[in-house]
Structure 1
Amino acid sequence: MKKILIIEDDSAIASIERDYLEINQFAVEIAEDGITGVEKALSGQFQLVLLDLMLPGEDGFSVCRKLRGKLDIPILMVTAKQEDIDKIRGLGLGADDYIIKPFSPSELVARVKSNLAQYERLKGGNVTMAQNSSIEMGPFVINTQSHRAYLKGRELDLKKKEFDLLYFLVVNADIVFSKDSLYERIWGYDAVGDNATVAVHINRLRDKIEEDPGNPKYIQTVWGAGYRFKP
């Protein structure tokens, strides 16, 4: 039975979320503030965190940043705010998806199942772990300990941020990320600069990994949305 942690200060909403998830065969625990949520998430064996944005103690953004630095599990952010900047900021800090209040219990369950399925597919499907903490996908091998990347056996000459960007895109293959989201994930929310940096690094990566950088096979542009990696 998969375990879900709900971090939500509204006890009525948390109870409804718990009840519907339990009906669908999930084990659920609840934390009512950000500080307790971080402690529970780091001490329990959870498969997904359902994280409210507005929390006492520490807000959802702060909690998300702390959890993503320690945990490699889906984080589904729950927010009553509909401004795009909140969605982008949350995803940039490491949230995998968001859901806007009010939502139906059936939508919540569907989104939880979808994110768990996607996580399991990425972990057990296209991405495989080789020796020495290497990640293999298609013709790419990325060694996270030595910070080296290879394409068809040839070592790539990558700067640190180019390596970080390639690694992030590879382990999140087929997922589209906006420039804002990539900038916040790779450079950090408090970094000095703007998302034009992402386009520059994407172009540099394409020059190093694509046979035809003008018609890229691996790092594809999704017009109006961002970039994705296709193995």
Structure 2
Amino acid sequence: MDQMPHILVVDDDREIRDLLARFLERNRMRVTAVRDGRETRRAWTQGHYQLVVLDLMLPGEGGLDLARWIRTQADTPIVMLTAMGEETDRIIGLELGADDYVAKPFNPRELLARIRAVLRRAGEAAERKADHGTQALGFNGWTLEPARRRLLNPEGVEVPLTGGEYDLLQALVERPNRVLTRDMLLDLLRGRQAGPFDRAIDVAISRLRRKLEDDGRNAQLIKTVRGGGYVLAATVEK
């Protein structure tokens, strides 16, 4: 049992909680299912979880607020459950560092595939961190420290990044002077293709530019390639 990934399911719909618990347990996963923020916080102190399945529409403390709290506790992957058409909440959730989303109503097999993909990427990221955790990456005076998942400005002061912003910047820094389309970035970060209205990458790029003091209208560091995507125009040194 200890080798099975432990999944925390947060959803106020009892039928969905029970369905997911049974389905995931049949697929060799441990499951703790809770209905709201209060129960989530209690469960958090009583277990160690490899992934959280989080419904955004919760009574009381909303799913976005709960996702923000989880991000202050750990880098545990989050798969969000959203209602169809909730584009704004989905974008905000991804900015907060959620790793993927599934729109309701959903097929349990699709959710299982997303969970497995996120767990696999989390495991690969942990291996990369173990292998290269001491190697800082320098670019244009800035320093990215994978071991501590932090960004330092040219004066050596840490610049706060959300989980999603850090992952996006790392993807760019690891592929300098290479054009990365939105679909490529989404695939690298989330393991999925962008929907027709998915602006999460564009929003995150804008936030990164502000934090990197890179003028969005005349960006010199993270450049926009018309009809293509984005490119980090800098030399990266380890």
Question: TM-score normalized by structure 2?
Answer: 0.66
The 5 A counterparts of 1:1-231 are 1-125=4-128, 128-130=132-134, 136=136, 142=145, 144=148, 148=152, 156=154, 160-161=158-159, 164=161, 167-171=166-170, 174-175=188-189, 178-181=201-204, 197=210, 201=214, 227=230
Q: In the aligned structure 2, how far is the partner of 1:146 from the partner of 1:178? A: 20
Instruction: Tell me if the contact between 1:220 and 1:227 (Cα under 8 Å) persists in the aligned partners.
Output: yes
Q: In the aligned structure 2, how far is the partner of 1:227 from the partner of 1:158? A: 26
Q: In the aligned structure 2, how far is the partner of 1:171 from the partner of 1:178? A: 14
Q: In the aligned structure 2, how far is the partner of 1:108 from the partner of 1:182? A: 27
Instruction: Tell me if the contact between 1:183 and 1:197 (Cα under 8 Å) persists in the aligned partners.
Output: yes
- The Cα of 1:167 is off from its aligned counterpart by 4.8
- The Cα of 1:171 is off from its aligned counterpart by 4.8
- The Cα of 1:159 is off from its aligned counterpart by 6.1
- Give the letter for the 1:181 counterpart: A
- The Cα of 1:169 is off from its aligned counterpart by 3.5
Instruction: Give CA deviations for 1:194-219 in whole Å, capped at 9, x if unaligned.
Output: xx73685387xx86xxxxx5xxxxx6
Instruction: Tell me if the contact between 1:38 and 1:66 (Cα under 8 Å) persists in the aligned partners.
Output: no
With over 3 angstroms needed to count, the CA separation of the structure-2 counterparts of 1:183 and 1:121, relative to structure 1, is: same
With over 3 angstroms needed to count, the CA separation of the structure-2 counterparts of 1:27 and 1:225, relative to structure 1, is: farther
Instruction: Tell me if the contact between 1:6 and 1:29 (Cα under 8 Å) persists in the aligned partners.
Output: yes
- Give the letter for the 1:73 counterpart: T
Instruction: Tell me if the contact between 1:48 and 1:76 (Cα under 8 Å) persists in the aligned partners.
Output: yes
- Give the letter for the 1:175 counterpart: L
Match of 1:192 in 2: none
Q: In the aligned structure 1, how far is the partner of 2:54 from the partner of 2:17? A: 10
Q: Please give the secondary structure, in 2, of the residue aligned with 1:112.
A: helix
Q: Which runs of 5+ in 1 are unaligned?
A: 150-155, 187-195, 208-212, 214-218
Instruction: Give CA deviations for 1:162-181 in whole Å, capped at 9, x if unaligned.
Output: x7488554556643862323
- The Cα of 1:145 is off from its aligned counterpart by 9.8
Question: TM-score normalized by structure 1?
Answer: 0.68
Q: In the aligned structure 2, how far is the partner of 1:146 from the partner of 1:197? A: 16
Instruction: Tell me if the contact between 1:7 and 1:52 (Cα under 8 Å) persists in the aligned partners.
Output: yes
Identity percentage over the alignment? 31
- Give the letter for the 1:180 counterpart: V
Instruction: Give CA deviations for 1:15-42 in whole Å, capped at 9, x if unaligned.
Output: 1111111111000010111221133234
With over 3 angstroms needed to count, the CA separation of the structure-2 counterparts of 1:80 and 1:12, relative to structure 1, is: same
- Give the letter for the 1:128 counterpart: H
Q: Please give the secondary structure, in 1, of the residue aligned with 2:85.
A: coil
In angstroms, what is the RMSD of aligned CA positions?
3.9
- The Cα of 1:43 is off from its aligned counterpart by 3.7
Q: In the aligned structure 1, how far is the partner of 2:124 from the partner of 2:18? A: 30
Number of aligned pairs? 199
- The Cα of 1:144 is off from its aligned counterpart by 4.2
Instruction: Tell me if the contact between 2:150 and 2:166 (Cα under 8 Å) persists in the aligned partners.
Output: no
